[in-house]
Every structure is written in C-alpha cells, then in structure tokens.
C-alpha cells in the first residue's frame, strides 16, 4: 500500500534582505530550530551568494526563485543551490553568444557599468565565451553616473564606427539604467537602425515600467527616441494553462493583478519543484529518506514540469534552463512597446554528442534561435548592416593605393582621349579628302551579265535597292565576288561636304549583319558609273522565304529574325542612325545563311544624279527599273506606290519624310527629331519582316484588294487599324511573347513602339542562342544540308520510279535484250534467225460476238482475254509480237536463240491458252461458249526494230505466213501444227501427243500434211 505524508512550510519573516551580521546570526538560530529541510531565497545576488554558501555547509537545499549567482556550474562553492528564476546568472550571456553564433556575427562592442558587481560578473563570463567562439570584442567600462566628458574620454566613437555595427549595453539590471548611454550615443551619431544595439534586461520585475512610460502611463517621446529600433533580450514569458489558472486564482482570492501575480509564479514553481523532488525520493525509499537532503537535491536536478511561469527544465547544475526572446522597440508602427521578433529556446540533444561549440551546449540542451517569418525582410536588413565589408567599415583592410593609381590612370586616359579625338578628327578629314569609296575600274572584272532585276513578285516590286544591289551584274574586285550596279555616266561627278560624309558613313558600316558597300567607279574613260557591293549568293531574303523547296524550321526563322534585329540595332547606334526602307527585298543572305541588311543611303544620292542628268540607267536596265524609285512615291501619289510600301509606317505613308541627303543638310536638332521618327518607322518595318519570316507569306496577302487600296486604308488614321492577320494554324508554332512583340512593333502610335534595344533583349530571352555565332551558322548549314539531302533522296526515288515505269513499258513493247541495247545507245541491227517457232491464234465467231456487243464491251473483253494470254507468255521463254483485232501472235527463239526449245515453248503456250479459254466466260455474254483456233509453225525468220515513233520489234519471213495459214485452216478448239513443227518436236521427244490430220490445201503452198497438238503425254504409272 502506498504511503502518504504531509509537509508543513514555515515562512521566516526574520530573514529579510540584505543580510547583515546580526541577521545571519538569526538565520542560523532559525535553521537549528526548524526542520532544516528547505530554504527559499528572495533578494540580491550578493546576499544569495552568502546564503547559498551557508546552505551548502549545512547540506540544506536552497532554492532561489528571483535571482541566481553569477558563477555558473560551481558545485563545490554552492553544492545545494537550485534556481527556478527565469533569468539565471549566465543564461543571458549564453543567449547573447547563441545570437552571434546563429547570425554569424564576429565583432561586437560591449559597454557596461564597472560599479555593478553583478554586471561585471556577467560581462566577464560573456567575454570569456566570446573568446571561445572567436568573436572579437571591445569592452568599454563606464560609471553609473556617466557624464558627457567622461563618456568622450572613455569611448572612441571613431573606433566603434570602424570596428563593428553591433553594440551590447549593460549598465544595470533594468532597461532604464541604459538611458544615459543611449542618449550620449545618439547625440554622437550612433543610433539604430544604422547600428544594432542590444539591451540585455538582466532582472525584469513586474513593477518596472518601460523607461519611456511615465507614472501616468503616457509615453515620453524624448526618451523613446533614444530607445527606438534597439533590441531587448529578455525572458520569453510564455503563458501556460497553469499560468492562467494561477493568475486567475490569485486575483479571485487576494485581488492580486496579473502583473503583480507574475512574481509569485516562480515562488509557486520553487515549491512545486521541491514537492516533486521529495515525492520522487519518497516513492523510491522510506519516509526517512526525504530528510536526506543530498537525495532530495539530486532528485531536483534535471526535473522537468509545467509550472506557473512556463515550462521548467532543470539542468545538471541545478539551474533552470531559460527561454529567451529578442524584442525590438519598433519605431515604424504606432506601438511603443516591445515586439517579439525571435525566440531562443533550448533544444534537447544527445548527451553523448561531443560539441566543439562549448557555449552552445548546456547539459544535453542547445540554444536554438527561431526567427518570426513575418520579419524576414527586417532580419535581412539587419544582416546587411552587420556584415563586414571586404575593406572593413573604414576601408583600412584594403590597399587604397591602387585607387590613386586608377585615378591617375583615368586622368591620363581622359587627356589621351582628348588628344586622340583631335587626331581622329584630323585623320577623318584627311580620310574624307582621300575618298576611300573611289575604286579603280581597271581592277573590276565583270564575269556575268544580268540585265533583269531579281524579284520574287512582279516587276513593280523592285524598289530603289534594286538599283544598287539586286539590279546589275556580277563581277570580281580584288579576289572578292561583288554585285555591280551599272549606269551610263553623262557628266563628271563631284561630292560636296554633306555627300562625302554620307558616303564615308556608309563605307564605314562594318557588321556581320550589314552588307558592306565597297565603293564607286566613276569619272573613268569608259563613261560608266559602277556601284559595288559584296555579293551574297543566296539572293534576297524575300526570294528565299517564298521558295517552297527550302525547308525552314523554327531555328532558321529565329536566326533570320535575330540577324535582322542585330543589323537594325547596329544601324540605330551608328552615325547614320536608321535604315529607312527596311523590307525583305532589301535584305540578302550570304553563303553561311546570315541575313545582311542593304543600306539604302546611296539610292537617294543616285536619284539626285539621275535628276541632274549626270547618270542614266542602261536601256536594258531601264525596262525593269521603275521610273519612281522612292517606295513612298512622289508627293504621296498612290499610283507611284509599290507593294514594298506595305512595309512603311503609316505616318510616313501620310507624310513622306526627307531622304538621307536632305536630312544630312538640316540642322542637328532637326536631324535628331527626324532620325527618331525614322527609327520608330524601322520598328514598324521590322514587324512586317518578322511576320513574313514567321508565316512565309507577304503582309496583307489575305486581303483581296489592290496594293493602292490597302495603302489607302493604312494611311487613313480615321479608319480601323489595318494590320496583317496572323494565321490561326501557324499561330501555335510560335512563342506568344514574340507574336505580342510583333504586334507591339506595328502599333499605330509610333511612341508606343518598343525601341530596338528592348526588342533585342526580349527576343534573346525567349530564343536563347546556344554556342557562338559560328556554331549557330554550322547548325543552320547542317539543317539546310539535311533538307537538301532529303530533297535529293525524294527526287532520286521519283526518278527511279519513273525510270522503272519506262523500263516496264519499253519491255512490253520490245524484247528486254533489244530494250537494253536501245537504252545503252547501241544500234539495233536486223537479224536473221535459222529456226524459230510462231503461234497464231484467232477467236472463233468473233464477228457474231461483235454484233452482240458494244465497242467498249469488245475492248474490255479483248483486254481481259489477252491479259490472261500475256500472263501465260510471261512465264515462258517467248515474245508477244503483236495483236491485230482478235488475232494474237507469239514467237519463241528470237531475239535470243534457244536451239530447238522454241517448239516446246510454243506447244506449252498453245495448250495453256486452250485450257484458259475453256474456263473463260464472256463477261457480258456468259452463256456464249468461247472457242479459238491455233496455228503453229517452225522455220527461219528475220526480225528488227521498225520506226522511230512507237517503234515495234517486227517479224518477217514465210514462217509467219505459214503459221497464219495453220490457224485459218484449223478447226475450233483445235491446235494445228505444220509438218516442220511436228518434225522438230518429234526429234526432241518432248512429252506431247500429236495426231496426224492428213493432207490439206494451204493457200499459196499447195498440199501440206498437218498435225493436231492434242495434249501433254501422261507419264507412265510405276508399279
């Protein structure tokens, strides 16, 4: 049966604090008078130190519930001391070290009160732990009543600013003791949030108000500003069910408020700890053991229970493992209280786990920092301030001498740049005088004449670009293949300053996606003006896009669009500043499938020379070059607009801009304004080019209206916006971002159209280019090679099939051997054959059948019947010579001689034909019995190919006539053979049954003996 007991506690009112010599004497007398089982302490840490040592001597458990000694884990000095205080002597310091470890902070400044013994002990322990964890610290000692002069003499503000951004201030037990130091720091520019200032609250008491709260519970903002944005480290006052019930009961019984009741919670936990330990001791031994203070003390150590002040966890040293929290005095909201932003909770770890972080392990517990996710951005801002820059906060960790060197170098570069600019200006003027665009005509070799413009549509599609590139001839200049535009020069040509600068700008255009202009040949004895461009052998982009034989996947299309964007980007950033007439006809493709833009500035110059009568196109060229080379027309005459005008922006269709020459003669500000308009118009034209590349159809091709009517709709701003329609089926094949970008580029409002830089950035992000430009070119060429290879295979297959059909047709018309000789080009010489066999067959009563049938039925009937005969012949070594009406002529032994085998072949054919005819039913007269006559004869023959049109292999000789007579004198269903045929077949001893018919009269031959071919001879039956 379980025993029970009751305990009586005596409250010794004589034991008051602080302890004096007289009170210690009284304390000893009371100890000897009463049960000597337990001492509960309340008071100052210095008094607790004395009382704890006495209790250790007397071996009496002493429980502190409001404070703790400073020396942690000193079992020899305090062997019976137990503390349930929420803030123990060293746990606050351990929490600070845990904060630095968890946030990876490595430097700190500690400002503390040297006159406060408890503060000094805590800071001493804290400095030791910081040293063990490799945190560099600077300790600054101050007095309680610090003055500004003393502060300035002790504190080096410059050292603080150059060392760290974290300050720990411990001037006393309460928060209000830190107010003078915070005021002095703020006056000298060290405040939050520029610095992280941590205020450990050593001994919080329920009666203590926040420093900035007055007696009437109002906020003193002059003090509050000193504390704003600082961090407070205090116990985490987590409420439990017991806490709520305990506070509620105290209020009901004793009218004690919840704030005042807080100080009784640890007293309650002290009693509960002792009672639980005694109960544990009593349950294990007899009643006398509860007087064994050593056993009771051992049972109190490492106990864990839910108390009124929260979760109570005792460590092996008899101290309560505290729960701390980090609070911020927030100045960004209306609250003037403490806002919890992180918790520091003990986390149990394996006791046998060795830890290199000595400060962090507390007897099988580790302090773990848990930040509030709602304050992640706040902590990131804190980390940015605390992290040490690579050169330190004052730059002393970096060698700044290099910056002086850099400054000197920059100055030198600036001076050098000015000098180089002056030299460049001089050289440019000199270069301009030398006219680098002038080429000697003697070095130009014309290798190909092409009088017609290359165009993918009608002749009216050829714009001004045809004059300088697409139109003209092909030649060689200095081992470079060039495209030459040729003109008849009537007057000497000279250049003014504006024209010379324009030509130099075009000459200096060097980019992978710009087709280079090589120069002019002019003022020469031949009175010719030649315009030379680099030759791109794959022609214009428009012609390539609309060549259905060219396979283009998404890689081809994106590569072409990327080239257009890169070329246009280069022009927009070049001195010229824009293109002006961008369309797919003005773009060419070189051998590496790189799209190059043709600059069109020279067209305006050529037009001025034409207008002045200095040059005229050659007559042959004049047929294909339109008289009006301006794609915008003359004074916006709709009749002068071409289909390339569909690429022009609507604002330019409404009002034509000045050409390149006129623009170059304007002022700088006017040039900038119009160039910006041209750039925006280039973006519109780029959108049309992208449309044509993606869908491989001309813009507005779906609109069934004349070009002039479409242009009239586009240029009218009062109508609905007219733009190319995106095909629904092809829409799925392309990225929606690119389609949206294309539509943004052809916006009616030129201001809304995106600039080329933005277009390039968006396109590059959607279609990332893998590898270098060369890799992309190689990949494109591989794809094109594969496409060509497939085309070659398909064409080869089609050719082989056609050849096979032709061979079969030829073999049906003439013998295979003769057909082979004809294909090889060998002459077919007529030949004479000494022995061959001929078969003639004719249908009996064919005239009667014809009278009962329509012509189509006769044709179908003969085709069906003779097809069966053809199948029989194809199995044997024979040749069908021809069919005449219902007559069928077969021969064996020609053109390949086979000895006397031809009689056997012809005999087999005749028997097979007869058997086939017996089973044959006339489709449209099924009740008619089909019968035929066959005539066989052997003898010499001559054969050869007759005619060039529908050639036939024909037989000549009396043998054919005799075979025909054998058929005509025969009887229905009978096979009649001549005596020559009978003789050969008898000599061979072939298995055929022959019966003698007798002597008959043969026209032209007189009396002849003939035989019937009856059937095959049956083999003898073996025993």
* CA 556 – CA 1011 distance, rounded (Å): 80
- Whether residue 904 contacts residue 990, with contact meaning beta carbons closer than 8 Å, is answered with yes
Q: Is residue 824 assigned to a domain? A: no
pLDDT tens for each residue of 1001-1018: 888 888 999 999 999 887
Residue 766 in tokens: 């959607």
Q: Is residue 129 assigned to a domain? A: yes
CA 147 to chain centre: 66
3 state SS for 611-654: HHCCEEECHHHHCCCCCCCCCCCCCCCHHHCCHHHHHCCHHHHH
Give the angle subtended at the CA of 710 by the CAs of 706 and 715, to the nearest 5°.
145
Tell me the CATH number at 58.
Answer: 3.40.50.2300
Stretch 515-520: mean pLDDT, rounded?
91
* CA 690 – CA 564 distance, rounded (Å): 9
Question: Is 288 buried (19+), middle (13-18) or exposed (0-12) by CB count in 10 A?
Answer: exposed
Choose one of 308, 337, 360: the last residue of a domain: 308
Domain co-membership, 764 together with 776: no
> How many CB atoms neighbour CB 241 within 10 A?
8
Smallest CA-to-CA distance from 587 within 557, 558, 553, 564 is with 564
Confidence of residue 430 (pLDDT cuts 50, 70, 90): low
pLDDT attached to residue 819: 76
pLDDT tens for each residue of 215-268: 777 888 888 888 888 888 887 766 677 877 888 888 788 777 766 677 788 888
Residue 61 in tokens: 């458990």
Domain co-membership, 413 together with 549: no
pLDDT tens for each residue of 161-210: 777 888 898 988 888 888 888 888 888 888 777 788 888 887 766 566 78
Q: Is 217 left (phi over 0), alpha (psi -120 to 50) or beta?
A: left
* CA 44 – CA 67 distance, rounded (Å): 7
Q: Provide CB contacts within 8 A for 208, sequence distance 6+.
A: 174, 175, 176
* CA 479 – CA 474 distance, rounded (Å): 13
* CA 210 – CA 223 distance, rounded (Å): 10
Q: Is residue 291 assigned to a domain? A: yes
Q: Provide CB contacts within 8 A for 560, sequence distance 6+.
A: 541, 595, 693
pLDDT attached to residue 639: 52
Residue 454: phi and psi, rounded to 5, are: -85, 125
Domain co-membership, 684 together with 729: yes
Choose one of 308, 331, 357: the last residue of a domain: 308
> How many CB atoms neighbour CB 360 within 10 A?
20
- Whether residue 11 contacts residue 84, with contact meaning beta carbons closer than 8 Å, is answered with no
Question: Is 558 buried (19+), middle (13-18) or exposed (0-12) by CB count in 10 A?
Answer: buried
Tell me the CATH number at 991.
Answer: 3.30.70.1230
Domain co-membership, 686 together with 545: yes
Smallest CA-to-CA distance from 37 within 275, 265, 314 is with 275
Domain co-membership, 427 together with 468: no
Residue 741 in tokens: 């970008």
Q: Which domain holds residue 658?
A: 441-769
Q: How many domains does the chain have?
A: 6
C-alpha torsion sign, points 814, 816, 822, 828: negative
Confidence of residue 8 (pLDDT cuts 50, 70, 90): low
Domain co-membership, 199 together with 271: no
Type and span of the H or E element at 376: helix 376-386
| Lowest-confidence segment of 371-375, 390-394, 800-804, 949-953 by average pLDDT | 390-394
* Separation in Å, CA 1006 to CA 576, 937, 1001, 1003: 107, 16, 5, 6
Stretch 269-289: mean pLDDT, rounded?
78
Type and span of the H or E element at 1013: strand 1006-1016
* CA 204 – CA 141 distance, rounded (Å): 23
Stretch 926-934: mean pLDDT, rounded?
90
SS3 862: helix
* CA 806 – CA 817 distance, rounded (Å): 15
- Whether residue 911 contacts residue 975, with contact meaning beta carbons closer than 8 Å, is answered with yes
Domain co-membership, 873 together with 989: yes
Domain co-membership, 500 together with 585: yes
* CA 437 – CA 523 distance, rounded (Å): 13
* CA 966 – CA 955 distance, rounded (Å): 17
Confidence of residue 630 (pLDDT cuts 50, 70, 90): very low
Tell me the CATH number at 555.
Answer: 1.10.510.10
Q: Which residues of 932-954 are buried (b: 16+ CB within 10 A; e: fewer)?
A: bbbbbbbbebebbbeeeeeeebb
Q: Provide CB contacts within 8 A for 693, sequence distance 6+.
A: 541, 545, 557, 560, 561, 564, 584
| Lowest-confidence segment of 59-63, 436-440, 638-642, 826-830 by average pLDDT | 638-642
Smallest CA-to-CA distance from 173 within 130, 112, 124 is with 112
- Whether residue 224 contacts residue 212, with contact meaning beta carbons closer than 8 Å, is answered with yes
Residue 233 in tokens: 């480290």
Please determine, for residue 996, whether its predicted confidence score (pLDDT) is greater than 50. yes
SS3 145: coil
Domain co-membership, 578 together with 593: yes
Smallest CA-to-CA distance from 142 within 88, 87, 107, 183 is with 183
| Lowest-confidence segment of 127-136, 188-197, 560-569, 680-689 by average pLDDT | 188-197
Domain co-membership, 531 together with 629: yes
DSSP conformational letter for 217: S
* CA 836 – CA 208 distance, rounded (Å): 139
Please determine, for residue 634, whether its predicted confidence score (pLDDT) is greater than 50. no
| Lowest-confidence segment of 271-275, 352-356, 508-512, 642-646 by average pLDDT | 352-356
Domain co-membership, 874 together with 922: yes
Q: Is residue 314 assigned to a domain? A: no
pLDDT tens for each residue of 672-720: 999 999 999 999 999 999 999 998 889 988 888 888 888 888 888 777 7
Q: Tell me if the pTM is above 0.75.
A: no
Residue 639 in tokens: 């009749």
* Separation in Å, CA 623 to CA 535, 634, 719, 927: 23, 20, 37, 76
Q: Is residue 319 assigned to a domain? A: no
Choose one of 308, 338, 354: the last residue of a domain: 308
Stretch 523-551: mean pLDDT, rounded?
89
Question: Percentage of residues in the chain with pLDDT exceeding 70?
Answer: 80
Instruction: Share the mean pLDDT of the chain.
Output: 80
Tokens 């329609």, located at residue: 725
* Separation in Å, CA 888 to CA 393, 860, 891, 933, 954: 115, 16, 10, 11, 14
Q: Is residue 77 assigned to a domain? A: yes
Q: Is residue 353 assigned to a domain? A: no
* Separation in Å, CA 176 to CA 88, 171, 186, 330: 20, 9, 16, 17
* CA 304 – CA 284 distance, rounded (Å): 18
DSSP conformational letter for 935: E
Stretch 495-516: mean pLDDT, rounded?
89
* CA 329 – CA 831 distance, rounded (Å): 123
Stretch 471-488: mean pLDDT, rounded?
85
Domain co-membership, 776 together with 918: no
CA 330 to chain centre: 45
- Whether residue 290 contacts residue 276, with contact meaning beta carbons closer than 8 Å, is answered with no
**DSSP β-ladder status, 107-113 and 473-477:** unpaired
* CA 1014 – CA 996 distance, rounded (Å): 10
Q: Could you please report the per-residue DSSP string of 231-298?
A: EEEEE-----HHHHHHHHHHHHHH---HHHHHHHHHHHHHHHHHHHHHHHHHHHS-GGGGG-HHHHHH
Q: Is residue 553 assigned to a domain? A: yes
pLDDT attached to residue 770: 63
Confidence of residue 978 (pLDDT cuts 50, 70, 90): very high
SS3 912: helix
* Separation in Å, CA 448 to CA 451, 469, 472, 553, 645: 10, 14, 9, 33, 31
């Amino acid at each position: 049966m379980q025993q029970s007991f009751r305990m009586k506690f005596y409250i010794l009112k004589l034991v008051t604090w602080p302890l004096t010599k007289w009170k210690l004497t009284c304390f000893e007398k009371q100890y000897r008078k009463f049960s000597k089982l337990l001492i509960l302490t309340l008071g100052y840490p210095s008094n607790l130190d004395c009382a704890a040592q006495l209790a250790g001597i007397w071996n009496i458990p002493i429980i502190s519930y409001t404070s703790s000694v400073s020396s942690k884990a000193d079992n020899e000095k305090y062997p019976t001391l137990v503390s349930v205080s929420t803030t123990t002597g060293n746990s606050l310091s351990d929490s600070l070290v845990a904060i630095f470890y968890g946030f990876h902070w490595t430097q700190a400044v500690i400002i503390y009160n040297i006159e406060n013994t408890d503060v000094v002990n805590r800071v001493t322990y804290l400095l030791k732990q910081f040293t063990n964890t490799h945190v560099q610290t600077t300790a600054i000692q101050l007095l309680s009543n610090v003055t500004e002069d003393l502060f300035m003499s002790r504190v080096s503000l410059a050292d603080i600013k150059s060392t760290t951004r974290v300050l720990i201030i411990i001037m006393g037990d309460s928060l209000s003791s830190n107010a003078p130091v915070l005021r002095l720091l703020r006056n000298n520019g060290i405040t939050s949030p520029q610095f992280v200032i941590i205020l450990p609250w050593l001994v919080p008491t329920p009666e203590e108000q926040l420093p900035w709260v007055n007696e009437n519970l109002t906020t003193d903002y002059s003090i509050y500003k000193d504390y704003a944005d600082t961090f407070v480290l205090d116990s985490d006052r987590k409420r439990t069910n017991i806490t709520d019930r305990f506070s509620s009961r105290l209020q009901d019984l004793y009218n004690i408020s919840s704030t005042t009741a807080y100080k009784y919670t640890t007293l309650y936990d002290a009693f509960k700890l002792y009672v639980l330990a005694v109960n544990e001791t009593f349950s294990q031994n007899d009643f006398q053991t509860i007087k064994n203070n050593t056993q009771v003390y051992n049972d109190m150590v490492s106990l864990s229970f839910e108390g009124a002040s929260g979760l109570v966890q005792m460590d092996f040293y008899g101290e309560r493992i505290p729960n701390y929290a980090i609070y911020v005095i927030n100045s960004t909201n209306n609250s003037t209280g403490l806002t919890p932003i992180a918790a520091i909770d003990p986390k149990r770890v394996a006791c046998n786990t060795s830890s290199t972080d000595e400060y962090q392990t507390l007897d099988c517990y580790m302090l773990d920092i848990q930040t509030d996710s709602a304050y992640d951005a706040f902590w990131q801002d804190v980390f940015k301030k605390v992290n040490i820059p690579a050169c330190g906060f004052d730059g002393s960790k970096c060698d700044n001498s290099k910056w002086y060197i850099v400054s000197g170098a920059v100055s030198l570069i600036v001076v050098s740049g000015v000098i180089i600019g002056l030299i460049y200006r001089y050289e440019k003027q000199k270069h301009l005088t030398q006219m680098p665009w002038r080429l000697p005509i003697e070095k130009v070799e014309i290798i190909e004449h092409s009088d017609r413009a290359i165009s993918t549509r009608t002749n009216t599609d050829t714009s001004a670009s045809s004059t300088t590139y697409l139109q003209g001839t092909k030649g060689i200049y200095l081992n470079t293949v060039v495209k030459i535009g040729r003109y008849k020069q009537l007057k000497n040509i000279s250049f003014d300053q504006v024209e010379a600068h324009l030509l130099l700008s075009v000459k200096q255009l060097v980019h992978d996606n710009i087709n280079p202009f090589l120069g002019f040949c002019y003022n020469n004895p031949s009175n010719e003006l030649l315009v030379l461009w680099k030759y791109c052998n794959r022609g214009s982009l428009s012609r390539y896009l609309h060549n259905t034989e060219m396979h283009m996947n998404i890689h081809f299309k994106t590569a072409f669009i990327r080239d257009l964007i890169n070329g246009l980007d280069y022009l927009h950033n070049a001195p010229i500043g824009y293109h002006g007439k961008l369309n797919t006809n003005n773009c060419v493709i070189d051998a590496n499938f790189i799209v190059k833009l043709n600059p069109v500035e020279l067209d305006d110059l050529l037009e001025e020379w034409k207008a002045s009568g200095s040059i005229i196109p050659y007559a042959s060229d004049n047929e294909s070059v339109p008289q009006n080379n301006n794609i915008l027309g003359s004074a916006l005459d709709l009749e002068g607009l071409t289909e390339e005008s569909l690429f022009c922006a609507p604002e330019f269709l409404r009002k034509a801009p000045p050409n390149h020459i006129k623009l170059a003669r304007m002022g700088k500000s006017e040039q900038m304004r119009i160039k910006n308009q041209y750039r925006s118009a280039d973006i519109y034209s780029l959108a049309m080019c992208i449309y044509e590349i993606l869908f491989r159809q001309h813009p507005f091709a779906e609109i069934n209206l004349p070009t002039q009517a479409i242009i009239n709709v586009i240029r009218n701003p009062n109508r609905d916006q007219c733009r190319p329609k995106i095909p629904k089926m092809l829409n799925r094949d392309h990225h929606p971002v690119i389609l949206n970008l294309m539509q943004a580029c052809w916006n009616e409002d030129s201001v809304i159209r995106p600039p080329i830089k933005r277009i390039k950035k968006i396109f590059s992000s959607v279609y990332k280019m893998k590898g270098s430009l060369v890799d992309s070119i190689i990949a494109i060429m591989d794809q094109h090679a594969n496409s060509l290879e497939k085309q070659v295979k398909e064409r080869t297959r089609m050719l082989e099939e056609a050849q096979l059909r032709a061979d079969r047709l030829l073999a049906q018309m003439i013998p295979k051997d003769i057909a082979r000789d004809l294909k090889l080009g060998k002459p077919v010489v007529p030949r004479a054959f000494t022995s061959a066999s001929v078969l003639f067959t004719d249908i009996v009563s064919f005239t009667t059948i014809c009278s009962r049938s329509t012509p189509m039925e006769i044709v179908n009937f003969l085709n069906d019947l003779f097809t069966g005969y053809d199948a029989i012949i194809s199995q044997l070594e024979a040749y069908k010579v021809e069919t005449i009406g219902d007559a069928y002529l077969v021969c064996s032994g020609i053109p390949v001689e086979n000895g006397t085998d031809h009689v056997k072949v012809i005999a087999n054919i005749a028997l097979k034909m007869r058997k086939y005819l017996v089973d044959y039913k006339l489709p449209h007269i099924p009740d008619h019995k089909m019968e035929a006559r066959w005539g066989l004869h052997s003898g010499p023959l001559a054969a050869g190919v007759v005619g060039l049109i529908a050639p036939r292999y024909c037989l000549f000789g009396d043998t054919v006539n005799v075979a025909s007579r054998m058929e005509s004198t025969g009887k229905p269903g009978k096979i009649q053979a001549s005596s020559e045929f009978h003789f050969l077949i008898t000599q061979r001893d072939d298995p055929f049954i022959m019966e003698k018919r007798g002597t008959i009269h043969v026209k032209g031959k007189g009396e002849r003996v003939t035989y019937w071919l009856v059937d095959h001879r049956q083999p003898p039956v073996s025993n």
